[in-house]
A and B are shown apart, each in its own frame.
Chain A
């Protein structure tokens, strides 16, 4: 079974609009962390935001926020006021702290911001 599911292979959004990228996860480990990374066409994986399973508040980093719904095992990324430079692949990822130290990635969502 997939540990990280990203159901949107691609999305088109008008510049300045908000966008939500979906991510669901599967784990039995009570202690885990969720990440979002951005990968432009250059290939580098850029860290955006982190949410720990015990964090009470949803994580925010500038225009990025993580809508964490623990009971639904959902960790959607919200980008406010999208910009042309936000066009990239976005990966949701998870780390299970009691299991090992690797990060498990989803298949990604390609986001296109339209002018």
Chain B
């Protein structure tokens, strides 16, 4: 039973560039949530996708956008990168109505 997978594992970008991160949910899960974890902090909720729609959103600017595909996989896009966007980006999947979200290994983004 494959768990949550994310790609790439590491990424280095420069300020102003755009980045796309990818996530495949755990088998049987239909909901994907994205979190940003800055160094030394707990993860912060960015948004959640269900049935290819953004269901909820945290306090993140419009530079952060996403997409969910019919196979439930998801992308996180960040435009006009800032130094402060450097973080570990975690994807979590769940089944709608169930309690637990299961996380992937994350993508470490460094913005120079």
Residues of chain A touching chain B, judged by Cβ–Cβ distance below 8 Å, are 4, 33, 35, 37, 42-47, 50, 52, 91, 93, 95, 100-108
- Give Cα A113–Cα B101 distance, bound, in whole angstroms: 27
- Give Cα A47–Cα B43 distance, bound, in whole angstroms: 14
Name the interface size band of chain B. Answer: 20 to 34
- Can you identify 21 A-B contacts, CB atoms within 8 angstroms? A33-B99, A42-B105, A43-B105, A43-B106, A44-B105, A44-B106, A45-B43, A101-B31, A101-B55, A101-B56, A102-B33, A102-B45, A102-B56, A102-B58, A103-B35, A103-B43, A103-B45, A103-B92, A104-B45, A105-B42, A107-B41
- Give Cα A76–Cα B56 distance, bound, in whole angstroms: 29
Most buried by B among A46, A91, A105, A106: A105
- Give Cα A107–Cα B102 distance, bound, in whole angstroms: 19
Residue B90, interface by CB 8 Å: yes
- Give Cα A105–Cα B104 distance, bound, in whole angstroms: 16
**Known contacts A43-B90, A44-B103, A46-B103; 20 further A-B pairs (Cβ under 8 A):** A37-B103, A43-B88, A43-B105, A43-B108, A47-B102, A47-B103, A52-B99, A91-B42, A101-B33, A101-B48, A101-B56, A102-B33, A102-B48, A103-B43, A105-B42, A105-B43, A106-B42, A107-B40, A107-B42, A108-B41
- Give Cα A11–Cα B88 distance, bound, in whole angstroms: 24
